[in-house]
Amino acid sequence: MNGRVGSKMANRQGLASMFAVTALLFAAVATTFPAECSAHRAADARGHTKGVHSIGVCNGVIGNNLPSPADVVKLYRAKGIGAMRIYAPETNVLRALSGTGIGLLMDVPNENITAFASTPSAAAAWVKAYVQPYPGVSFRYIAVGNEVMDVDAQKNILPALKNLNTALSAAGLDGRGIKVSTALRFDVVTDTFPPSSGVFADDDFMDPIAEYLETTGAPLLANVYPYFAYVGDTTDIRLDYATLQPGTTVTDDGNGLTYTSLFDAMVDSIYAALEDAGTPGVKVVVSETGWPSSGSSAATVQNARTYNQNLINHVGRGTPKRPGPLETYMFAMFNENLKTGDETERHFGLFNPDKSPAYTLSF
């Protein structure tokens, strides 16, 4: 079974973000107001207000000791986790989700995009096999690909999106409100400091996709990892800023807004890029974010708990540029022992394979 692949982000996203983040911290040092967000935190410190509706968790399956889909879904329900992302159309998970009301973001694996782009009947067959038979599943989004970085493969995304939408309509599923999009790595955006200067690194790739998403009302899905930015530049990025703790305040001279977390700054740079592309109506859904609890000096239980709990408490309020709930999928539900790459890749889980918490979190 495939899923989120390897440790690529640690290398590429970290490096790509380094320049921007270095600039960000020079600004941060100049204007620091330590108590800035304590009032906000108190507002929903238990995570049981609006924020809970904005939080989903990614259900990666690259392990040989993970619970059954039925048990996984039980754990989501017991914890009050309202949405799930899966990286392939896993029919046993779809059956377990049926009737639960848990919202679902489901990926079309990268290796299937070419066929969907060139052959409308391939997209139609997929819809018939994995969407139509599951009227009890609360599909929210279909992600055509995750972090597709190959330039030739990227060209197939837009036609695949179109063919998939056509297939959903032809199957009579318009009424389900399923939005079709693609999940991008954060470094499709460049010039991310200040956030208001964010632009797409490759307009030819992104502008037509953003324009299409605006016509369909689908959000852009983006994987946003302050962790990788932080480990790429620990001398300039402050841990409190990367883990959504109070202490660092950055004013963006371009839009006049004030930032207290790298997460918000990263998301708002995506919004700036969407505006630059002429598509301010496209929303952002954070399709992955997380912090590993072991495997590097920054990957500690304490940092992972701090980041993830603050995130849960935070996303219901959105970002300075887009206040209001920001739908966010945490990566990931379980520690996955068969993931390759850096040691941290096997320690992103909120839970151990035996369903015990990797550390305490309140959803």
Q: Is 147 a catalytic residue?
A: yes
We find the least distance from the C-beta atom of residue 116 to ligand NAG, in angstroms, to be 7
Query: Does the footprint of ligand NAG cover residue 134 (CB under 6 A)?
Result: no
Residue closer to ligand NAG by CB (options 115, 301) is 115
Binder among 126, 186, 193, 363 for ligand NAG (CB under 6 A): 126
Query: Does the footprint of ligand NAG cover residue 115 (CB under 6 A)?
Result: yes
Query: Does the footprint of ligand NAG cover residue 5 (CB under 6 A)?
Result: no
The active-site residue, picked from 90, 214, 275, 288, is 288
Residue closer to ligand NAG by CB (options 45, 115) is 115
Residue closer to ligand NAG by CB (options 112, 260) is 112
Query: Does the footprint of ligand NAG cover residue 204 (CB under 6 A)?
Result: no
Q: What string of H, E and C letters represents the secondary structure of the chain?
A: CCCCCCCHHHHHHHHHHHHHHHHHHHHHHHCCCCCCCHHHHHHCCCCCCCHHHHEEEECCCCCCCCCCHHHHHHHHHHHCCCEEEECCCCHHHHHHHCCCCCEEEEEECHHHHHHHHHCHHHHHHHHHHHCCCCCCCEEEEEEEEECCCCHHHHCCHHHHHHHHHHHHHHCCCHHHCCEEEEEEEHHHEECCCCHHHCEECCHHHHHHHHHHHHHHCCCEEEECCHHHHHHHCCCCCCHHHHCCCCCCCEECCCCCCEECCHHHHHHHHHHHHHHHCCCCCCCEEEEEECCCCCCCCCCCHHHHHHHHHHHHHHHHHECCCCECCCCEEECCCECCCCCCCCHHHHHCCCECCCCCECCCCCC
Residue closer to ligand NAG by CB (options 38, 118) is 118
Closest CA relative to residue 314, chosen from 87, 65, 45:
45
Q: Is 327 a catalytic residue?
A: no
We find the least distance from the C-beta atom of residue 126 to ligand NAG, in angstroms, to be 5
The active-site residue, picked from 90, 147, 214, 327, is 147
Query: Does the footprint of ligand NAG cover residue 118 (CB under 6 A)?
Result: no
Residue closer to ligand NAG by CB (options 38, 119) is 119
We find the least distance from the C-beta atom of residue 329 to ligand NAG, in angstroms, to be 23
Residue closer to ligand NAG by CB (options 89, 226) is 89
Binding segment toward ligand NAG, per CB under 6 A, in 118-126, 133-141, 230-238, 300-308: 118-126
Residue closer to ligand NAG by CB (options 112, 223) is 112
Size of the site for ligand NAG (CB under 6 A): 6
> Binding mask 322-341 vs ligand NAG (x if CB under 6 A, - otherwise)?
--------------------
Token pair for residue 280? Answer: 């301010």
Query: Does the footprint of ligand NAG cover residue 121 (CB under 6 A)?
Result: no
Query: Does the footprint of ligand NAG cover residue 122 (CB under 6 A)?
Result: yes
Which amino acid would we find at residue 202?
D
Is residue 36 within 8 A of residue 62, CB to CB? The reply is no
Residues 53-112 that bind ligand NAG (CB under 6 A): 111-112
Q: What is the chain's length?
A: 363
Active site positions, annotated: 147, 288
Q: Which parts of this chain interact with ligand NAG (CB under 6 A)?
A: 111-112, 115, 122, 125-126
